[in-house]
Amino acid sequence: MTDTFTLAHLSDPHLPPLPAARLRDLAGKRALGYFNWTRNRHKYHRREVLDALVADMQAHRPDHIAVTGDLVNLALEAEFTPAQAWLESVGTPQQVTVVPGNHDAYVRATRHHFAGHFEQYLRGDAGADGTPFPFLRRRGPLALIGISSAVPTLPLMATGRLGRAQLDALDRQLAQLSPDEAFRVLLVHHPLESSSRMKRLTDSKALRAVLKRRGAELVLHGHDHIHSTMWLEGAGHQIPAVGVPSASALAHRHYPAAAYNLFSITRDGGKWRCVQTVRGIDADFRVKQIKQATLL
């Protein structure tokens, strides 16, 4: 058995508090989002929760950290600089990889701010070639592939889309990566299956076809704000696709409290072994282990 590589995964910090918004910024979809935040979401997304979760994660000294989107809330210009400062406090671009979520591309006017502010955290090892997605980063035995499902949508919609160009590039990228040489981790914001037409990844069927043809060892996502593990058909074996609650959330309705995942990855007897540990926050803002499971 080789040395263990530990990958941490958190998502959807929805960084609180929301900065003051100008009236002219609250037209269209943002008006509904702002109303929802001031009436409901600000009660459940708490900075002290996020800080406690990140402190516990950093205490476990993971080898790398994946953040699968929704760093901001309404994609106001004033949100991106604080979000950048927060991400820098989590780790350096060498230590952290990020992909955007739908809230990071909430409206067309600011949809490109995410790539500008977080460029170093989503730059592939080969550098940019005109479009940042998909990007490939090698960290230890891992091949981290980031794709973007973040697109502006109509009010009351939170769907995602990859598009043909990104799917074709992902297909080519996976075709060049052998599972014998790398543990392939796909990072995306939207889950690959959803019961909600308003929140689904619209071309998930095409993405699942790529994974069935080329394979991967692990898919990480956010968006649903719940614990989830679904199994996808891959090339030779099933692929675990794992979601995680919002990293800043108090438990409310059917949504669990903030949590993050730790994945211990080793090469054992010519095969990959992956053990998932889930750590979450309790009512006293203490972070503790919730469960452990062997995925591969």
3-class SS string, 14-77: CCCCCCCCCHHHCCCHHHHHHHHHHHHHHHHECHHHHHHHHHHHHHCCCCEEEECCCCCCCCCH
Q: What tens digit of pLDDT does each residue of 238-285 get?
A: 999 999 999 999 999 999 999 999 999 999 888 999 999 999 999 899
pLDDT over 90, % of the chain: 87
Residue 263: C-alpha distances to residues 25, 60, 157, 220 (Å): 40, 12, 32, 11
Residues 6 or more apart whose CB falls under 8 angstroms from that of 3 comprise 266
d(CA 288, CA 273): 23
**What does the pLDDT average to over 213-222?**
98
Tell whether the model's pLDDT for residue 1 goes beyond 70.
no
| Whole-number pLDDT of residue 25 | 83
pTM: 0.96
* Confidence class for position 128, pLDDT limits 50, 70, 90: low
Judged against a pLDDT cut of 70, whether residue 47 lies above it is answered with yes
Distance CA 145, CA 16 (A): 28
Q: Is the pLDDT of residue 140 over 80?
A: yes
- pLDDT number for residue 220: 98
The residue among 121 and 24 whose pLDDT is bigger is: 121
Residues 6+ apart with CB under 8 A from 286: 52
Q: pLDDT tens, 170-182? A: 999 999 999 888 9
- pLDDT greater than 80 at residue 2: no
At 26, the pLDDT band (50, 70, 90 cuts) reads confident
Q: What's the pLDDT band for 23 if we cut at 50, 70, 90?
A: confident
Quick one: pLDDT at residue 236? 85
Neighbours of 67 (CB within 10 A): 28
Please check the confidence at residue 129 and state whether its pLDDT lies above 80: no
CATH 3.90.1150.60 applies to domain 5-16+25-294 = no
Mean confidence (pLDDT) of the chain = 95
User: For residue 127, what pLDDT is reported?
Assistant: 72
| Alpha-carbon distances of 142 from 20, 121, 295, rounded to whole Å | 40, 16, 16
Residue 96: pLDDT band with limits 50, 70, 90: very high
Contacts (Cβ under 8 Å, ≥6 apart) of 116:
80
Alpha carbons 105 and 115: distance in angstroms, whole number: 10
Tens digit of pLDDT for each residue in 180-197? 889 999 999 999 999 899
DSSP state of 107: S
Residues 86-100, mean pLDDT to the nearest whole number: 98
Q: What residue has token string 């035995």?
A: 141
pLDDT of residue 126: 82
